[in-house]
Structure 1
Amino acid sequence: MEREMKDAMQLEFPPEYPELLEQMGQIIGRKLVEHGLGREQAQSAAFEIAESIRTEIGGVQQYIPRGLRFQLSRRDQEIFEKFNGQNYHQLAHSYHLSEMQVRNIVKRGLARERAARQASLL
């Protein structure tokens, strides 16, 4: 189903356009359409963004990180915000973690919160 949607959303890029930039443009275009931009506007904006990337960082080999640390920190913050003092087991089950992992996440969250409060006192 998702693959069919991607195929239906294919934007047109010039022939022989660099493959990586076209892939990035396709992703950007799909997201713009998902956010309510018309297909024509999304096409134009996606190509313009791809061209900006090409001219600003083109010619340099780039590594695109997966952002696992960012993703995990967002997940951990979400767990900490949902923690109510008694729901270690439920959070562990919801996030496919052990209770000990959830306890450690909560412990780190409390330490960050405490450090932020103490910094504001200074």
Structure 2
Amino acid sequence: MADNRIPELVADLEAQTAAFLLSELNLDNQQAQIISKKLSRHITSNWGGQLIYIPKNQGGKLDERDQQIYAEFNGKNHFDLAKKYDLAVQQIYKIVKTVGQYEMAQRQRGLFDDE
């Protein structure tokens, strides 16, 4: 039975967290409920009373997609990737170039970096 004293948003946070823990981490229902309640208490004690906007994280989703495209790229499959991800072939070229440059920059040390 739902507790009427718990705000709807907090109850939904607990429900969404429990559902995630059950489906993604394969926890049992009791563990998922305990963790979701602890998480909601933590969030409400830190952010309670604040007006919070939660962005949709489009950039993060695009980064994940772009990393996946780069991982699947074999040098000859621009068209196949464009079709698979519903993008233009030119977008695939741009993504592969951009992610490739980023990956190279991550692996390469700077001239004045300390050891």
Regions of 4+ moved over 6 Å: none
Residue 27 of structure 2, aligned match among 21, 24, 37: 37
TM-score (normalised: structure 1): 0.82
Question: How many residues get paired?
Answer: 111
- By percentage of residues, which structure has more helix? 1
- CA displacement, residues 25-50 of structure 1 (integer Å, 9 cap, x when unaligned): 11100111222222122112111111
Q: Which runs of 5+ in 1 are unaligned?
A: 1-11
| Residues 117 and 51 of structure 1, relative CA distance in 2, 3 Å threshold | closer
Give % identity. 32
Note the C-alpha offset of 1:63: 0.7
CA distance in 1, matches of 2:47, 2:6: 16
CA distance in 2, matches of 1:92, 1:26: 37
Note the C-alpha offset of 1:20: 1.1
**How large is the Cα RMSD of the aligned pairs?**
1.6
Correspondence 1:22 to 2:11: yes
Q: Which runs of 5+ in 2 are unaligned?
A: none
